């Protein structure tokens, strides 16, 4: 499952046939990964991660966190009762409700991450990015990529993605960006 439906993607690309559905689906998956690199999980998924930490809190690395399913010591031992934990869904910070500290890690945390719904601005950013990347399929005479005078020009590379992400997409994602070191 991706950030966009096949129908949304085809509407953005003004495609009415089923000829390119498989390829468009691959583009949707790629666009989803790029958008989620910037804003964290959008499409709900189960995350299993190993986290290190001792002290008053533990930090999950893929917020937004919907809930915590389990927290168990990697090296064996008793699982922590998640009912006694508070998870900040936005930041991914886990604290004990009794104010105690964590010891005995590293830990394996299992949790669903993602959003209840895709924010309209994030959906729009995904559709614009899809359209930008799809333009590589077109010849230069049909509006394909050539030169920098396009409405989709990219003046600065996006971290980790070179010039694949247009400025307008980055601007739309700005309010949803993850803090440094989280995504």
Give the pLDDT score at 155. 53
What is d(CA 66, CA 175) in angstroms, rounded to the nearest whole number?
20
* Per-residue tens of pLDDT for the chain, all 183 residues: 689 999 999 999 999 999 999 999 999 999 999 999 999 999 999 999 999 888 899 999 999 999 999 999 998 888 899 999 999 998 999 999 999 999 878 999 999 999 989 999 999 999 999 999 998 877 554 554 444 445 455 555 555 555 678 999 999 999 998 766 554
From residue 131, give the alpha-carbon distance in Å to each of 7, 63, 125, 158: 14, 27, 10, 17
Half-sphere exposure of 38 (CA within 13 A, CB side): 22
In SS3 terms, 120-136 reads as HHHHHHHHHHHHHHHHH
**pLDDT confidence of residue 137:** 79
Q: CA-based Rg of the chain, rounded to a whole angstrom? A: 20
């Amino acid at each position: 499952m991706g950030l966009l439906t096949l129908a949304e993607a085809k509407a953005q690309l003004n495609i009415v046939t089923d000829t390119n559905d498989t390829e468009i689906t691959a583009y949707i998956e790629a666009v989803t990964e790029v958008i989620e690199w910037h804003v964290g999980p959008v499409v709900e998924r189960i995350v299993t991660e190993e986290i290190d930490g001792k002290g008053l809190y533990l930090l999950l690395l893929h917020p937004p966190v919907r809930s915590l399913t389990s927290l168990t010591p990697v090296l064996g031992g008793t699982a922590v009762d998640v009912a006694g934990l508070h998870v900040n869904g936005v930041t991914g910070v886990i604290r004990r409700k009794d104010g105690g500290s964590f010891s005995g890690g590293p830990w394996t945390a299992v949790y669903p991450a993602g959003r209840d719904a895709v924010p309209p601005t994030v959906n729009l950013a995904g559709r614009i990015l899809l359209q930008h990347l799809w333009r590589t399929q077109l010849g230069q005479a049909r509006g394909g990529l050539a030169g920098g005078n396009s409405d989709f020009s990219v003046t600065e590379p996006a971290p980790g993605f070179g010039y694949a992400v247009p400025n307008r997409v980055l601007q739309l994602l700005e309010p949803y960006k993850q803090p440094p070191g989280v995504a």
